[in-house]
Amino acid sequence: MNCKTLVVVALFAAFAMATPACDRPPSDYDYGSADGERYDQNVDEPIFRVVTLAPAITQMMNDLGLQKMIAATADQDPVAPDGLPTVGNYLDIHTESLWSVKPTHVLMMTDKAGVPPRLQEMADSGKFQLVTYPSPTKVSDILQIIYDYQEAFPLGEPTGPPKSLGIILSAPAKALELHTTIGVQLAQLSDLTSKEDWPRVLMVIGTDPLMASGPGTVHDQLLSFIGGVNAAGDATVSAPVYDKEKIIAAQPDVILLLEPGGADLESIRTDSRLLSFRGLPVPAVEDGRIAVINDPTALLPSSSLARVCASMAKVIHPNLAEQVDQAMSTGLLPQREPDADEPALDD
């Protein structure tokens, strides 16, 4: 992406942010409580009590500033606000726990199996709205969950009830801002790395057995944004398992361990997570280009993806680390000189 393209993206973002919306700050909402009491007594305000059954959705609500709307989460949700009750998981819902938090909305991501029958039966009772999203495989899937332009500005008759968080939770301005910010940040990272060499990168998502992020995944797309070739890109599944022979055949220049909350790496001779790589004749091992991405949200297909993408970019292109930090902290892309054959911005 060249500078001209980035300017177009930025201008679109500025226009989008200027679009009128009717958000109210979270403190203005009446969220209710599990025992039916109210946090404020304005009965004209909508009451949202949301149960999130996917950590990726929890993170989106965190980034939208809507944490107070979350009444409960699934078990083992690493980004859930402290102190919230849990209701099992979407495959094994604890019925009494779910009813006890009096949800208005239950939000989940589904795979090919779809919605578990028991959860669908509970939703059919009409006491809460069940909203399902296919598990994201592209950045655009994530952005659409946050804010869907077609829902906000329909061109014809709606094909179904709204599903994007900004619409169903009456927070369109917050959702639009987050949607736009993610898009601009990724555009900045793409522009910043566009003139760099593209190394082969193996993104490890599990070490026992060794498993990589393959084609058709959000991380595969993120890697293409920041100038990297997925060393597992020719796999036939989205999460291929690798033995030593396959690692040698892949010849990665860089190895990234995507390990939320993981400890910093030790020497390849002592760190058990690197056992599969010891002594292998591949550039990443020989050059010591192995790093851990330990952001708590490193594996989530969620609104934190730009931050995770920036962490990956700094490892893949260490010469750009300072510029990446500057771009992510200020929201402005560091200036670079255009190529001789690159058209001027006012062409």
**Are 96 and 151 in the same domain?**
yes
Q: Is residue 266 included in any domain, yes or no?
A: yes
Provide the domain limits for residue 220.
197-316
**Are 85 and 222 in the same domain?**
no
The tokens describing 248, both together, are: 């040698």
Model confidence over 296-322: pLDDT tens digits?
Answer: 999 999 999 999 999 999 999 999 999
**Are 203 and 179 in the same domain?**
no
3-state secondary structure of 341: coil
Model confidence over 279-297: pLDDT tens digits?
Answer: 999 999 999 999 999 999 9
Q: What is the mean pLDDT of residues 187-199?
A: 94
**Are 36 and 137 in the same domain?**
yes
pLDDT of residue 230: 98
pLDDT of residue 343: 43
Torsion of Cα atoms, 309 then 313 then 315 then 318, to 10°: -150
- Say which range, 39-48, 75-84, 178-187, 321-330, has the weakest mean pLDDT: 39-48
The whole-angstrom separation of Cα 133 and Cα 111 is: 9
**What is the domain-level CATH number for residue 242?**
3.40.50.1980
Half-sphere exposure of 190 (CA within 13 A, CB side): 20
**Are 220 and 172 in the same domain?**
no
**Are 205 and 258 in the same domain?**
yes
Q: Is residue 336 included in any domain, yes or no?
A: no
pLDDT of residue 331: 53
- Binning pLDDT at 50, 70 and 90, where does residue 2 land? very low
The whole-angstrom separation of Cα 17 and Cα 177 is: 6
pLDDT at 61 over 70: yes
Per the structure, the count of domains in the chain is 2
Element (H, E) at 89: strand 88-89
How far from 93 is each of 88, 115, 122, 303, CA to CA, in Å? Answer: 5, 11, 10, 25
Q: What are phi and psi of 301, to 5 degrees?
A: -80, 80
**Contact assessment for residue 131 and residue 53, using Cβ atoms and an 8 Å cutoff:** no
DSSP letter for each residue of 193-230 = HTTS---EEEEEEEETTEEE--SSSHHHHHHHHTT-EE
**Is residue 212 packed enough to be buried (19+ CB in 10 Å), middle (13-18) or exposed (0-12)?**
buried
